[in-house]
Structure 1
């Protein structure tokens, strides 16, 4: 693990649609945020894939190309492409096309959310077992949220089915990752026939695996010697087991000689703790809209939104308590704890607020406090 002071920071963006605005504005703001992150010397700018909800990064690869065109040096990538909704060849051809114009800057993150949903509906996934909160060397590991009800909700099922052809089945995740790598390397075969992705073969693209548990994502990343991203901001209860499983499974590869772990965190930074808490006060509303099965709603204005009631808060309590909110010093202390306990090599931060200027400020204040070399100290 890098020393705390030397740990790089990267940015995750969902291009959230905020209450009173629209998706085109969210797309433009994603590009502006990427430029801002590059100026502040964040290492990467990654975009998440979600469908039929109020976030504008649904066509993730398209937006990656637009961000790459609008920036010069920052690495740009997916966090993550849902492998169950795209064929390996479509993924590689898309990234190969962007790499042709912006070579050596792309991170191809792969996730298996579609496969997870299929496991839940088939009954092959273990049911979440309630556990008490833990505090591990200062890091809160909350009781896990039972994701089974969410993944089986009518709206989530409908969105998933609408995103692929009728009757299609998600492939085995490890097989899909292997096909992506073979296509990039120019070694792909279907039976006895060699097939070449054009563009795609030979593209200077780094493959990443995203995971939220000790399951197949962590196992695949380790066994194939790929870098791994553990989602503390989505599934804080399982981050330690995911990282441990990855490291235990790791085998050196042409991509990596040693494990490389990135851990995600949700942050809101302001000049002082009280201001940050106010700006973050509708985060719970946003998470509730997701966990209730309705899908991510427009992000509410904290100046006008009513507080969550006790029942609503109980559904999102783990996410609220594991969000890093406060002054620069407060958030830096929390992130250093996260890095220390997970032994992260890099941290990936996402910051969502209703006011876009507050998002820009959050990233800037954190960059200064973390002492990123591009941050202004005026």
Structure 2
């Protein structure tokens, strides 16, 4: 398959069972170099905290390390959790990276998952939550039943995480205001409520590309569209809402100095191997890893096959991960490329963002290599 749609990578710097964060970070840098050689367009780093199985806790630092280890590939965040940072801190951090690696830095912004869980729980308590839609297939693309994020709202661990990630008594501003402040600081047009100009150095005038990431048709998609910014929709995190997200973004879109028309990236979780059976074997630990996230304990180190075999699965466990497992694209290169092309076609994506986790690092590199060849990427 040869396509003109770019392919990019989202990396969590996964820590595997028996591994260390230092190993995970070294492997992330090696993977980024590999991705650049293969012709991937972007290399984005996620932001996760208090997760034993994820080493990507400080995206600006890791992005700087990846940028220094590569030459051409765009590097960025997928996404900075804005509830944990002030706008000026975000702009200064990314402005610092851009000062040394100009024209290569993407600043992806998102709302924190904690807020999403709280909003879902609030709607459920108020009786305003709509009944969940049933699983359906849209022109070949599976749209599963949605995951109920309200089940995470009562997690003591998540509550403790939220408290530690903010200063005592701090309140997160509205997401639209955060985006506007960041855009103003980058452009040099920021003013305090009293009209006092403030300048972020480094940051002001940086050639940072501003993105919004979202998992629903809610505020993130609306903000991205109204401000004419590029938008990334998360099929790999919330597959049930991907069409709502991209449609809401396009409906809200207004041309801007950044974009004349909407630009959409859609993510997918993939594992590619030489044949379908080998890919399924590599992906066998994925459900247990997702379960650790969905249960509120935080991502565990990516399990071995033996650890998966020992886990006593329950029906509740299977329900917890069903949508993520059903929408992971696993298989031989042609199998996965065909499913990715369906995702592109149904969502109208201008670019696809793939994330891959396997216990064996060599298998992960091989997965990206096989997919690049099948997708028709060309080395720079």
TM-score, length basis structure 1 = 0.96
Q: Which secondary structure state, in structure 2, belongs to the residue aligned with residue 135 of structure 1? A: strand
**Distance in 2 (alpha carbons) for counterparts of 1:136 and 1:121:** 28
What CA deviation, in whole Å up to 9, does each residue of 1:295-353 have, x standing for no partner?
10010012552164433112101100000000000000100000000000000000000
Match of 1:316 in 2: 321
Q: Which residue of the partner structure matches residue 141 of structure 1?
A: 143
- 1:261 paired with 2:264, answer yes
Alignment of 1:104-253 (within 5 A): 104-113=103-112, 114-120=114-120, 123=123, 127=129, 129-190=131-192, 191-253=194-256
Q: What is the CA distance between 1:121 and its match in structure 2? A: 6.0
Say whether residues 1:359 and 2:364 are aligned partners: yes
Aligned counterpart, 1:28: 26
Distance in 1 between residues matched to 2:97 and 2:156, nearest whole Å: 36
Structure 2 CA distance for aligned equivalents of residues 115 and 70 of structure 1? 34
Q: Residue 226 of structure 2 contacts residue 254 of structure 2 at CA under 8 Å; is this kept in 1?
A: yes
How many corresponding residue pairs?
373
Q: Show the 5 A alignment for 1:301-340.
A: 301-306=304-309, 308-340=313-345
Counterpart Cα distance in 1 of 2:357 and 2:91: 30
The answer to whether the Cα contact below 8 Å between 1:4 and 1:340 also exists between their aligned partners in 2 is: no
Whole-Å Cα distance in 2 between the matches of residues 100 and 58 of structure 1?
22
Matched, 1:83 2:82: yes
Runs of 4+ in 1 over 4 A off after TM superposition: 120-126
Provide the alpha-carbon RMSD of the alignment: 1.6
Contact map agreement 2:2 2:374 (CA 8 A) in 1: no
| TM-score, with length taken from structure 2 | 0.95
Contact 1:128–1:148 under 8 Å retained in 2: no
2:308 aligned counterpart, secondary structure: coil
Tell me the residue number matched to 1:49: 47
Alpha-carbon distance between aligned partners in 1 of 2:156 and 2:206, rounded to the nearest angstrom: 39
SS of alignment partner, residue 43 of structure 2: strand
Task: Identify if the C-alpha distance between structure 1 residues 26 and 64 changes in structure 2 by more than 3 Å, giving closer, same or farther.
Answer: same
Assess if the C-alpha contact under 8 Å between 2:279 and 2:332 holds in 1.
Answer: yes
Deviates more, 1:309-318 or 1:160-169: 309-318
How far the C-alpha of 1:118 sits from its partner, in A, is 4.8
